[in-house]
Chains A and B, each alone.
Chain A
Amino acid sequence: MDINEKLKILSSAAKYDVSCSSSGSDRGNSKTGLGNTVTSGVCHSWTGDGRCISLLKILFSNACIYDCAYCINRASNNIKRATFTVDEVVNLTINFYKRNYIEGLFLSSAIIKNPDYTMEQMLKAVKKLRIEENYNGYIHLKAIPGADLKLIREAGFYADRLSVNIELPSEKSLNLLAPQKKKETIIKPMSFIGQNALANIEERKKYKKVPLFVPAGHSTQLIVGATPESDLKILKLVEGMYKKFNMKRVYYSAFIKVNNDKRLPDIKPPLKRENRLYQADWLLRFYKFSADEILDNKHPFLDENIDPKTSWALRNFHYFPIEVNKASYETLIRVPGIGIKSALTIIKARKYAPITFDKLKKMGVVLKRAKYFITCNGKYYSNLFLTPEIIKEELTKNKEYQIPLFPLTAIEKAV
């Protein structure tokens, strides 16, 4: 099979993996090497669906011996199969990188022969890139569930990021849809990587020469909508992973039905839900919210019509309005329409002169949302006596407010 054909098969097989971010790693280059990584991440192109292309995202192989219900590459599907050689992966990566097509490599694989064999092939490719080709660009490697932890550990010294997909939000669902994958074969490497990464940070504080272990941390991916778990259950799980496994990012992937299988629901990809989950995830990581604040047993699903922060604010209307000229940073970032950047600007700017509504607008605060929750020098933006119900109606009837389906990168930029 020629390389063009292989690339076509093995990149389209990988594209449903949504983890497109290349940020979070600062690998400086040596004098003679090739490449560096940039902390803020770089997009090199945008696909027809508006997603950022940053990495060459490919599978090593799609000839899988497993049979997960939701996966296009499962053994029982009748599809074209292909497997790269180690040299082909290296060659493609180097030559795309030199032309500035990509920021680096994202290598995953179906399970060929057995988990150890698969992991070994991937390890060979990254070792060759780093050692023989002197390549310093970004590498994100998927750890194969069930592979020897020794192999995973070794891979961690060559990759910027290592990740294990959690796939589904509960053990029950995993048993149902991916019976050959066991919960421990996922959780074990996940906590192993987390521990090793933390230990590495400590060691490097003492000895500068200790080699880097997954400097960009580890992440995971979760399919949304294939199984019945609520958003509350998902967010609790995610919150736990951030805390326990020292995880950098969780990626949510709206379930796209590619196989006909009785175990799978008949739904359109829940893109809105995916988008809301990303917003809720931001609240967890940067806005100091807990999962229990974002949702509760009475409201176990995120509202599709309104973003999670506004939902929270409307349910907790007794905290508002707050006075922007006095409120602390922690209070400001909880106001719908005020992001981290504008909260910091408000705090800096109000030292010189009181903040007015006009100024807020210039700072990039989304007044359309914020105006219901704040006062400026004791003044309300409008004289209406408002209740949460009326505000919700106002906000949702306004077409502009209905956020279009952002891809990941758009959300990252917006906040």
Chain B
Amino acid sequence: MSMTATRVQHESAEPIELAEPEHALWRDSIRRRCGLDFSEGRRRFLSQRLRERMSLLGIESYGEYYRFVEHDFEGGREWQRLIELLLINETSFFRHPPSYEVLATYALPELMRERPGQQPGEDFIRMWSAGCSTGQEAYSMAMIFPRAAGAGQSWQTRIVGTDISERALAKARRGHYRKHELRGLPERFAGRHLAPAEGEPGVYKITDDVRAHVRFARFNLAGADDFYMPEQDVIFCQNVMIYFSLDSRREIFARLCRQLRRGGYLFLAPGESVGLQHPGATPVRVHDTMIHRRAE
């Protein structure tokens, strides 16, 4: 408690907060580049993070720093450094347990049932963790998959995790987590799929049997460039769009729906689908959890 109090005090003692018209410049530029929404409610956070970079670079005004980033001489590196500060990488294993429950007991069985007469090469389910942060979401999907595939079946899965944060991706690829980062991970999974890392006490690493199914790549969900990847059977995009403006949310929602294979499922976090509709996808309620299904 005392910590928050001193923090507030500290901030109120700080100099010049980002004001108009620079705030509008920054807000629009960031929204254009990556969809993040820094309107009034997050202005303070934005100014704090901008100042962090500015003091390192010795730049004094927000306008000057804006021009510095816009005219970036290093091929976008400063922009990447800044965005790393603006992103929130909060995540955990099985973050919203009901979603995984629905995945294992409803979505995956349905998908497998609807695809009879598996051709060789057809017997795997593609899943995508969009905005995967440090990888826990993608690994959770990989861990729960065998429960739906059942023993002795030939079903396989390919999981890809994407994020805009290079730092988070590096950690995801490494697959090393400290003890407290394992919160939410059920005991039975922890025992089976995590092993103490050699030479690093208190650190655990994802075992190869899980890691073999998961790949990570950088991808800007709000970017203009198209991302080549096959249509997905399951997409998880949780707690990513809360940071976006409604307009960007609509665009990305449509993009995700298009990326779904016919009959595939999209999982958003609770409350995130408010105000979102797409003609190709119908909302389905399973055990009190809303998911979206791409029409056949």
B and A form one assembly: no
